[in-house]
Structure 1
Amino acid sequence: MEKTGVTGWETAVLDGGPADGLRMKVADRPRVIQVTHPCLVEAAPHGLRAEGVYVYRRDYSVAGELLRYGFDIASP
């Protein structure tokens, strides 16, 4: 049997920004979660798309489950 390195799944909640309140399952407590959202593009060539990218960083003061990730206002 192959080991994946995943120690377990935990519930996390996103705080602030466009995905405020979203709950999800995460593995191995990632430091950062990236959320994308499609953008409308006018007169785009076939197949072209654009997405907004939002970054959420883990709140290290939360030790147990429900992990919390705060919106990084300075995200690209």
Structure 2
Amino acid sequence: MLIDTTANWETAVLDGGPAHGLKTRVADRPRVLQVTYPCPVDEQADGVRVAALYLYRRDYGVTSEPLRYGFDIASP
């Protein structure tokens, strides 16, 4: 993964859900972060992976580091 060294990176913390307490760095304050967890499969198929998807939405009330992203309970 290439990291853009010219971007304005900020620390963010995930609140709630399966990734509660995780810290990451974000550039340009995205509205939503996506967290995936791999899921085991019973039968292997070439090129197929299964992952659980969780969404974290930015808390606009937090304006300084660490930014806060709250778990979206309505995640698919």
Q: In angstroms, what is the RMSD of aligned CA positions?
A: 1.5
Matched pairs, number: 72
Consecutive unaligned residues in structure 1, runs of 5 or more: none
Aligned partner of 1:13 in structure 2 is 13
DSSP-derived class of the 1:25 partner: strand
Letter in 2 for 1:51: A
Per the normalisation by structure 1, the TM-score is 0.87
Percent identity, please. Answer: 65
Consecutive unaligned residues in structure 2, runs of 5 or more: none
Per the normalisation by structure 2, the TM-score is 0.87
Report the more deviating stretch, 21-30 or 37-46. 37-46
Q: Which has the larger radius of gyration?
A: 1
Aligned partner of 1:31 in structure 2 is 31
CA distance in 2, matches of 1:41, 1:5: 40
CA distance in 2, matches of 1:58, 1:34: 11
Letter in 2 for 1:38: P
